[in-house]
Amino acid sequence: MTATAFQFDDVTFAYRTQRALEGVSLTIRSGERVALLGANGSGKSTLLRMMDALCFPASGTATAFAAPLTEAAFQDDATNYAFRRRVGLVFQNPDVQLFNPTVSDELAFGPLQLGWEKPKVRDAVDTVSARFGIAHLKDRPPHRLSGGEKKRVALASVLITEPDVLLLDEPTAALDPASRANLVGFLAREPGAGRTVVTATHDLDIVEDIADRAIVLAEGRVVADGPVLAVLHDVDLLRRTHLVFEHRHSHGGPPAGSHGHMHSSRQEG
Amino acid sequence: MADQRYGICGCGRGRRGALDSLVLGLVNAEAYALDAEATATRPGFLQSVDPRIKVLALVALIVATTATRSLVVLAALFVAAVALALISRIGPGRLARQVWVGVLIFSGIIVLPAIFLVPGTPIVHLPVVGWAITLQGLRSAAFVVGRAETAATLALLIVLTTPWPHVLKALASLGVPAAAVAVLGMTYRYVFVLIEAARHMMEARRSRIVAPLDGRERRRMLMTAIGMLLAKTFALGSDVHAAMIARGYRGEVRLLHDFHTRPPDWVFLAIALAVPALILGLQP
């Protein structure tokens, strides 16, 4: 039987007075590829941050690898280090994640904080930069990189420690089409069998490539959970949760030749 | 050029507000940082020195500058600083623009009263007021200005010949606390993100203004913009902290150092350390 990576039971969370999660219950098993779908403000990012122990339930229970996800538990260094070795989060805004002076320092940051020996860190930096095609950027400051390069460095800086769980927050946000295609291609093949990958997105076009299961959130609640194709074919659900909208357009002919069809929110932009 | 690039009207009718001036200043700072980065990666004498050795050596020369009580030695140190700049492909024109003029004005204003107030041998009297400029006063002023010019030139050489990440690593490997180095590094890193945010705010504001605003309204918008930028800074700081925690940060920054020291670097350091030692040892 596959082990459980995350178990959430009736979890709520609020930012001051604003509810972000409301009665969320779900189980994510090790090795699963899950997409968290939802419009802006649906609670995806908060759920992802909770899975990374950056915020904790106000009520309900959450566990990661059968250990409680609570603020008290994470005061303990050993618990914290054990968890950080196993779970990595790629933030939506790479400028948030890339805070070191150079790309090389960025890649080394995680392993050094986790107590790796320096020779091992140097080897890992070389290996991961070659794997992600960023070896030529190693001495560059992150703020001089393009959006696509920043995303690749952010991903590499998390995957360098080979975490069991990879959490991705809107990985394709603000990428040009070529960078987006590269990143999706990577996500579709690279994380490797056995790694749990949870991706928060409202870019429906990539979901089928990067996930097998989809969880739909709306106003902080789980409103659907099932195989990706079943969720993507439930147009009513997608429309209700503002993930698609009806769009009418013509193909250059007279108005009578126009037709309507569904668009995802990414296509809108 | 900068005015056109960042949407400030060049027709002369629009008056540049405080926010515009502030953002233009930040944009110029960004351009300056880019230029410094380009210089630091160019071939040259100081560029080739191990950054740790360079920081130590130039700091030693700054110490010598502040320690000497001889104008001749001070002049020699200034000449040495200029020579180091020249063999590092930094011209005197650039030094004059970036250091000498500014330092001369700033320190000159401070020491101006001293040339009249320090008692000593009068060498000339000002017409009308009859104040006497004394030899001792001039000497004191020359020391202050000379020390400020030389020390600032040497400090600028560190910045212009060393990529900023290497300056930080050099500081860390010389025993500066890692937290202080991390704060310096992040300040430099995120100032560019905030410059970008400030510029976007200014552009968004200008794109919606169709008529000149009165002073009160301009001040109100400036205060709002500063408040928004502050709020963004807090939000960014909080997110960056979360990103650090997510990768195992627990309050202690650990860094990799991979510098290599060559024999000529040691020679340079020995000479640089000998200068303050000789000055402090020999002068009465």
Which of B256, B258, B259 would you mutate first to test chain A, the one with the most A CBs within 10 A? B256
Instruction: Give pLDDT, residue B6.
Output: 40
Q: How far is CA B97 from CA A253, B35, B49, B235, in A?
A: 63, 14, 25, 37
- Model pLDDT for residues A128-148, shown as the tens digit of each residue: 999 888 999 988 888 888 888
Instruction: Summarize the confidence of residues A58-68 as an average pLDDT.
Output: 94
- Least-confidence region, from A182-196, A222-236, A245-259, B52-66: A245-259
Q: Is A54 in the B-facing interface, judged by CB distances under 8 Å?
A: yes
Nearest Cα of chain A lies from the Cα of B27 at a distance, in angstroms, of: 15
Task: For residue B250, give the nearest of A80, A85, A139 by CB distance.
Answer: A80
Which band of pLDDT confidence, cut at 50, 70 and 90, is reported for residue A261? low
pLDDT band at B7 (very low <50, low <70, confident <90, very high): very low
Specify the pLDDT at position B225. Answer: 81
B167-191 average pLDDT score? 81
| pLDDT over threshold 90, residue A216 | yes
C-alpha closest to that of A142 among A179, A187, A96, A110: A96
Give pLDDT tens digits for A74-83.
988 889 989 9
Q: Which residue has the higher pLDDT, A128 or A102?
A: A128
Complex confidence, ipTM = 0.83
How does the average pLDDT of chain B come out, rounded?
82
Q: Does A117 touch chain B (CB under 8 A)?
A: no
Task: Output the CATH code of domain A4-268.
Answer: 3.40.50.300
Instruction: Report the pLDDT value the prediction gives residue B119, as an integer from 0 to 100.
Output: 83
Residue B13 has pLDDT above 70, yes or no: no
CA separation for the pair B239, B112 (Å, rounded): 49
The pLDDT of residue A154 is above 90: yes
Q: Which residue has the higher pLDDT, A167 or A101?
A: A167
Q: Residue A103 in contact with residue A142, Cβ under 8 Å?
A: yes
pLDDT at B88: 93
What is the mean predicted confidence (pLDDT) over A117-135?
92
Q: For residue A30, is pLDDT > 70?
A: yes
When pLDDT is averaged across residues B132-158 and rounded to a whole number, the result is 91
* pLDDT greater than 80 at residue B19: no
At residue B26, does pLDDT exceed 80? Answer: no
Contact A38, A222 (CB under 8 A): no
Q: Check whether A265 has a pLDDT greater than 70.
A: no
More confident residue, B32 or A4: A4
Q: Does B193 touch chain A (CB under 8 A)?
A: yes
pLDDT at B105 over 70: yes
pLDDT(A269) > 60: no
- CA-CA distances (angstroms) from residue A201 to A91, A132, A149, A164, A196? 12, 22, 20, 20, 16
B185 in A contact zone (CB under 8 Å): yes
**What mean pLDDT is predicted for residues B173-181?**
82
d(CA B169, CA A265): 44
Decide if B49 contacts B268 (C-beta within 8 A). yes
Mean pLDDT to the nearest integer, A11-32:
92
CB A7 within 8 A of CB A25: no
Task: Please check whether residue A245 touches B, CB under 8 A.
Answer: no
H runs (alpha helix) in A114-190: 118-131, 147-159, 177-189
pLDDT for position A110: 92
CA distance A122 to A124: 5
| Stronger pLDDT, B88 or A260, i.e. the higher one | B88
Residues of A in contact with B189 (CB under 8 A): 99-101, 141-143
What pLDDT was estimated at residue B190? 79
**What per-residue confidence (pLDDT) applies to B41?**
80
**Per-chain mean pLDDT for chain A:** 87
Q: What mean pLDDT do residues B134-162 have?
A: 92
The verdict on A71 touching B (C-beta cutoff 8 Å) is: no
B239 contact A CB<8A: yes
Q: State yes or no: pLDDT of B193 exceeds 50.
A: yes
CB B173 within 8 A of CB B257: yes
User: In percent, how much of chain A has pLDDT > 70?
Assistant: 89
Tell me the C-alpha distance between B10 and B3, whole Å: 7
Say which of B242, B248, B258 has its CB closest to residue A81. Answer: B248
| pLDDT higher than threshold 90 for residue B252 | no
pLDDT at B176: 84
Please state, in angstroms and as integers, the Cα–Cα distance from residue B213 to each residue in A44, A76, A140, B8, B18, following that order.
Answer: 42, 56, 42, 14, 13
Share of chain B above pLDDT 70, in %: 90
Q: How far, in whole angstroms, is CA A161 from its chain's centroid? A: 17
User: Is 90 exceeded by the pLDDT of residue A121?
Assistant: yes
| Residue of higher predicted confidence among A138 and B205 | A138
The residue that leads in pLDDT, A265 or A65, is A65
Q: Check residue A192 and give left, alpha or beta (phi > 0: left; psi -120 to 50: alpha).
A: left
Question: Cα A140 vs. chain centroid, distance in angstroms?
Answer: 25
* pLDDT recorded at residue B8: 43
Of residues B56 and B31, the one with the higher pLDDT is B56
**B160 vs B22 pLDDT, higher one:** B160
Window 203-232 of B, Cβ < 8 Å to A: none
B89 phi and psi, to 5 degrees? 65, 40
Nearest CA in chain B to A139: B165
